[in-house]
Chain A
Amino acid sequence: MTMQPFVTFLYYLLTACTSLLLMANFLKAKEWQRELLYVIVLVPFVLRLLMLK
């Protein structure tokens, strides 16, 4: 039994945490440029969480 599945799980957990932080920052942001930036950065994280990319 290798550590690989456990390490992969941790990476998905990190991705989920980062996604939540980005969403929180998006909601807190006051300027539209920052809001747009957070949304664009969030997309690849969600795609990975959904096992799409």
Chain B
Amino acid sequence: MHILRKLLIGLAGLALLAGSGVSFRTSRTLLEPVVAGDGVTTVKKLSDYFRGIEGSINDCNVYILEGKEPGGTMVLMGGTHPEEPAGRLAAWIVAENGRMEQGRLILVLSANRSASTVTRLGGAYPPDFDISTTFGSRTFRLGDRWSNPLDQWPDPEVYIHSPSGQHLAYVDIRNLNRCWPGRPDGMLTEKTCYALMELIRQEEADLVIDLHEAELQYPVISTIVAHEKGQELAVLVSMMLTDMEGFKMGMEFSPPNLHGLSHREIGDHSDAVSLLFEAPEPFLDATRGRTTREQLLTGKDEFVVRAGKAGLLFETIDEHGWPIDVRVGRHTSAVLQTMETWSEMQPDRALRCSGVPRYAEVIGRGIGSFLKDPATADPKRMWFE
């Protein structure tokens, strides 16, 4: 009787192990297709810029859109924090639809690919989500803010940022937006930042934009965070977006003594102007209700609304929530507006892009309208994230 009971409990444990193991493995190995638009002229790997990242999970694809006319160079990064999916999706839409008329656009859709293969530990987050399209749906990994511990483990007691020596939270040694400018002999996330810095330096980028989302209880929201080299540009972009496109976009200075962040370190360690865009994502709020795919995509949450009524938020929210189309549209418009304003300020390094929908069009048609069908796409134009 005793042995039979032990056997049954052991088998139940094995079933639990198998079920959860298959689920985690499926999520980690899910391939996300990218149907590169005609505007994508070259696809490289991040390791082309720094061999130290070759063969690692963070050796991501680098999509280059070369314009017909020479001009400036912009690097657009999605997936620094994959659990902020509007940034990744906005970059995805550019990869599948964008075409540079002048200048060069370099796209990274999974800046921290490792972080896209795990969800927040203990957070009961959904592993992925679907975007509805005319041909069915496309599935994307949700991901996390930090690199997967399977790829970088253990964490130190205290994370000492290089080269500043600033002490940061231990877990942030796996946070891509706390590891800039990176170290060639550091841990995976630091090496990834170093590789991205090499990309920026070797491609002589003029502008770098890092796309993010933020919880409504976080003060840095619905805004552009700008390195001092890009303050004038950011102010003009903020004014134009707020005035012309009907959504509020603020502008903030990158604090000089807060290290490891892209808006600070890229500007300090390269010739590029670095900007970081934030859109609102109630899914990340600590006061949210159930953490579901629906909540992620609709941005609706009665508890976050209640927090707003109690004056606890830095962004407004009502029963309409913050749908993913709105959040992605904010990003695409902000990127396009940045190119336009930059081109007015630097006509000899101009950037002109076509084919990418702006805020109103993304909301009107839905982001699914701008994703292509991998089943009917030319396999030579497909890559996987």
Contact = CB atoms under 8 A, between A and B. Distances in A.
A51 B307 CA distance: 39
Interface in A17-51: 26-27, 30, 32, 35-36, 39-40, 42-43, 46-48, 50-51
A8 B6 contact: no
Interface centre among B2, B118, B154 (most CB of A within 10 A): B154
Interface in B122-171: 150, 153-154
Nearest to A8: B153
Interface stretch (B8-16, B62-70, B261-269): B8-16
A46 B17 contact: yes
Q: Please classify how large the interface on chain A is, using the bins under 10, 10 to 19, 20 to 34, 35 or more.
A: 20 to 34
Contact of A39 (B9, B24, B153): B9
Interface string B158-200: 0000000000000000000000000001110000000000000
Contacts of B21: 47, 50, 52-53
A11 B2 CA distance: 34
Contacts of A26: 6, 10
Interface in B1-38: 2, 5-6, 9-10, 12-13, 16-17, 20-21, 24-25, 28
Interface residues of B, number: 21
Nearest to B13: A39
A53 B149 CA distance: 8
B interface: dominant SS: helix
Contact of B9 (A2, A11, A32): A32
Nearest to B14: A39
Given A4-B187, A7-B154, A11-B154, A53 B9 contact: no
Given A42-B13, A43-B13, A35 B6 contact: yes
B203 to A, nearest CB: 28
Nearest to A53: B24
Contacts of B153: 8, 11
Given A46-B17, A47-B17, A8 B24 contact: no
Contacts of B150: 48, 51-53
Contacts of A53: 20-21, 24, 118, 150
Interface of B: 2, 5-6, 9-10, 12-13, 16-17, 20-21, 24-25, 28, 118, 150, 153-154, 185-187
9 contacts: A26-B6, A43-B13, A43-B16, A43-B17, A46-B17, A47-B24, A50-B21, A52-B20, A52-B28
Given A43-B13, A47-B20, 20 more contacts: A1-B185, A2-B186, A2-B187, A7-B154, A8-B153, A26-B6, A32-B5, A35-B9, A39-B10, A39-B16, A40-B13, A42-B13, A43-B17, A47-B24, A50-B21, A52-B20, A52-B28, A52-B150, A53-B21, A53-B24
